[in-house]
Chains A and B, each alone.
Chain A
């Protein structure tokens, strides 16, 4: 009885205490449900976002660059499908065997193999290694034939920059290549859109217009696992190709320039004298920009770098030359404008001129006799221009020259390698050399020698501004948002005003005081090319359709010693480096002129022999293409 009593009491205790526990259990379970509710219902959005952040990763693909086209819409910098070869290490069964196979198939260098092995250790096993960025078609076919034996190899088709005209436009367009760290940091747009394997403009317009050409990245969204491996693709967002840029250049003429300067060092610039459109701008020799796309080989690079004709220099913009006699139209104009001379003014040329005990030689040893402006220009008499320069003074000459664009950048900030050149005056010498101006220096400045330095494009613009009747033109290489047609430009100029496309205002762009003076200079240039004894008479075209006026120039590279002068050596007998630069500036057709050009052949000898004949060949083509160019006035509006 006692025992059972005790048993019942014990049972009571157990039951009572169990009840307390039971209540506690309910409370705890409710607490857990509350926690579940707070996580799954209240904070569901937050955790869903975090979960998506975990599993979704974006991959940016390289953007497709915009095309650059010439005036007629021909693609001069485009995009090409290229075949690449990737290895995905985790799919490879025997990595070394694969490398040996690929080495034999593609002729890979040992260095390249070492690089691939290094990449393999650096990358995750599912990241692809690029074995070859640009397979030739035959290599691609070969790989595809042996694909059964090349486990883990993936032939990939991708898009790459391509320059269909090879070296023709290199100095205008520049080229693209892989950016270095600094280039990425300097440009925010590149920084934002950069992906490995992407190429950016390194030079020329490709660099200058980077932000317009670059395009936007395509984006691929993948689901990834905790180790970052892609599991499946969720979305593909297409990128936008970069803007199309239309240039003012004419590929046919540019190509002809390349052919005419073949194996010579030099430059040709052609400009529309009214609109300022640059029709051609070629620096010779050039090089193939396609070589840089996938990393240029050391051998090819050395070949370009060590070429004595210096293909890396854009001679049109960065080449500084003494203008030689091509400056004479400006000297004549300045003298006429300042009323120092008139058309009747004559000088007797005896082949040399003495000044303070110094002898200044005319190119013609026997002298030209009594010469007027027209004859002096025609025969490029140095003595006449020594005298005119002496009377004019360098400061007045400087004002005229700078008005016509010497000593200033022509294309503004489009090319960061463009040089300003120099047109000296007394103040410049005092400030920069700390010495007073010497009258003898005025004399040689009058024939385009001495301190004076100009780029071929400056000479072209100078000629264009004489040819259009003495009005300022605004040179341009890109067909911009406010294009002005040839007719409109010409008309507004002839009315004495010029429509400025930037300020959208009609501005007075007269560069002359008296337009008659321009006419006198034009006629003198005409005589120089089209009249007997003219320096470029041999290169004339009689057909008025193509007839042009021009001025030869021969820039001394080296001071000619008395002995050399007496020797009167033939061109071939002088070392290449010491030969004169041949220059020629011209515009045509003479009636209703349309285009101006400048030609420089480095170390080509005399302008009349080496440079003027090129103009003759070129003018025919330029003028023949004028109608085509006029028809092509369906301007696309591109904001740059």
Chain B
């Protein structure tokens, strides 16, 4: 034990840089560069507000990722609960003093930029649960106490986020938490029972949904019922993607987006614009790039000695996967419209901040993959 501790403390800055995962790093840089070009296209081929801000955020958050990576994974393990608590406090703060915009209250003004704490929770919950399962004895995993605790850890932030209201983010937080439960060894039958219970209670859940949320589900089931109203986004998105064809309409030539048929093209529908301009080939290419990132994160988890790092990496890889799947399914008309950004590609500071911190911790796990955590 002692030996290991000594080893890890000895790592120099040079070794840290050397131990970074360069495939992951290059993939993230590629994705970031791509996102700038796509943002440039959403601005109609000019460097306007969105492109500029997106670039500034990348320039700030990318070094932040490296900075995060240079802290020992043990540090992040030690501070996991505190970070989780801080984000909970931020959620509480936002629910009282947050900035309201288009009917929901989920932001806080930090003068330099507007922070959305629920985005940070996406990472914080993984850290918190990873630490919890890391410390939990395998025998106690399925004990009543531990299950109660882990469910509370998930449910508390979910309730705050749902009440903002922000269904999309709360689902993503819940899924990120549940995956750690799964990886941590909670019995499969519990998952099956919960799923069945969920299906049975679905009608009741739907009855609690807000009218606009019900409308979204109805619209998802039949987008043509109101093509100019609720179904407009999804129909226009499918037209844009479908008309992209094999090789796309070309960079800056996506008619659906630059003629403003595409709504929310900077954020949730950024993939639509990308897919319209770069076609099937470009879309599959982007998916491959994301797959490489996910695969590298899983690999880092697999070589990590500590279960905290392992759980975090696996959990975070899954979270990234889920963000992509939810976003793509939404714009491809496979899921109802729930607000969920595409990691790195979508315009949005908090999402990028959370994603970059996540990557940072993953890189920290890589640098310190031999680190054992008691």
Seen from chain A, the residues whose Cβ lies within 8 Å of a Cβ on chain B are 6-7, 9-11, 13-15, 17-18, 21-22, 25, 28-29, 32-33, 35-37, 39-41, 43-44, 46-48, 50-51, 54-55, 223-227, 231
Contacts and interface: CB of A to CB of B under 8 A. Distances in A.
B260 interface: yes
Contacts of B314: 14, 18, 21
Interface in B115-135: 133
A18 B179 CA distance: 9
Contacts of B261: 54-55, 225-226
A36 B241 contact: yes
B138 interface: yes
A227 to B, nearest CB: 7
B369 interface: no
A230 to B, nearest CB: 11
A10 B239 contact: no
B10 interface: no
A6 B139 contact: yes
A6 B291 CA distance: 32
A55 B260 CA distance: 10
Given A28-B325, A47-B242, A51-B239, A40 B259 contact: no
A41 B236 CA distance: 17
B291 A9 contact: no
**Shortest 6 CB-CB contacts between residues of A and residues of B:** A47-B242, A51-B243, A226-B260, A225-B259, A40-B280, A13-B185
Contact of B244 (A15, A25, A40): A40
B191 to A, nearest CB: 11
A10 B137 CA distance: 8
6 contacts: A28-B321, A41-B246, A41-B280, A44-B243, A226-B259, A226-B260
A290 B331 CA distance: 59
Interface stretch (B197-205, B294-302, B345-353): B294-302
A93 B272 CA distance: 37
B241 A40 contact: yes
Nearest to B260: A226
Contacts of A46: 242
B218 to A, nearest CB: 21
B54 interface: no
Contacts of B280: 36-37, 40-41
Contacts, number: 124
Nearest to A15: B302
B118 to A, nearest CB: 24
Contact of B182 (A21, A47, A223, A224): A21
A226 B137 CA distance: 59
Contacts of A225: 259-261
**Residue with the greatest number of chain A CB neighbours at <10 A, chosen from B182, B243, B325, B329:** B243
Interface string B68-102: 00000000000000000000000000000000000
A54 B258 CA distance: 12
B238 interface: yes
B310 A11 contact: yes
Interface in B229-244: 236, 238-244
A25 B294 contact: yes
Contacts of B294: 25
Given A33-B287, A36-B280, A51-B256, A14 B184 contact: yes
A47 B318 CA distance: 33
B284 A224 contact: no
Contacts of B138: 6, 9-10, 13
A9 B185 CA distance: 10
Nearest to B321: A25
Contacts of A25: 294, 318, 321
Given A14-B307, A39-B332, 15 more contacts: A7-B307, A13-B138, A15-B302, A17-B182, A18-B298, A18-B302, A28-B325, A40-B242, A41-B245, A47-B241, A48-B242, A51-B240, A55-B256, A223-B255, A227-B260
B239 A50 contact: yes
B328 A47 contact: no
A29 B291 contact: yes
A404 to B, nearest CB: 69
Interface residues of B, number: 46
B223 interface: no
B238 A39 contact: yes
**Residue with the greatest number of chain B CB neighbours at <10 A, chosen from A6, A37, A51:** A51
B243 A47 contact: yes
B334 interface: yes
A155 B336 CA distance: 51
Contacts of B279: 40
Contacts of A36: 241, 275, 280, 283-284, 332
B183 interface: yes
B311 interface: yes
**Residue with the greatest number of chain B CB neighbours at <10 A, chosen from A18, A28, A33, A40:** A40
Contact of B185 (A17, A35, A41, A54): A17
B294 to A, nearest CB: 7
A51 B236 CA distance: 8
Interface string B316-338: 00100100010011001010000
Contacts of A37: 280
A171 B131 CA distance: 99
A32 B328 contact: yes
A205 to B, nearest CB: 46
B182 A40 contact: no
Contacts of A40: 241-242, 244-246, 275, 279-280, 283
A226 B264 CA distance: 13
A276 B42 CA distance: 73
A607 B85 CA distance: 116
B369 to A, nearest CB: 13
A171 to B, nearest CB: 52
B298 A22 contact: yes
A225 B236 CA distance: 13
Contact of B259 (A7, A17, A21, A231): A231
B255 A14 contact: no
Contacts of B256: 51, 54-55
Given A33-B287, A40-B283, A41-B280, A14 B239 contact: no
Contact of A39 (B242, B260, B310, B318): B242
Contacts of B275: 36, 40
Given A51-B240, A231-B259, A10 B246 contact: no
Contacts of A11: 307, 310
A268 B185 CA distance: 111
A46 B185 CA distance: 48
Contacts of A48: 242-243, 245
A36 B302 CA distance: 31
**Residue with the greatest number of chain B CB neighbours at <10 A, chosen from A29, A39, A48, A54:** A39
A41 B284 CA distance: 13
A223 B239 CA distance: 16
**Residue with the greatest number of chain A CB neighbours at <10 A, chosen from B179, B283, B301:** B283
A382 to B, nearest CB: 82
B154 to A, nearest CB: 17
A224 to B, nearest CB: 7
A26 to B, nearest CB: 9
Interface string B241-271: 1111110000000011001110000000000
B296 to A, nearest CB: 13
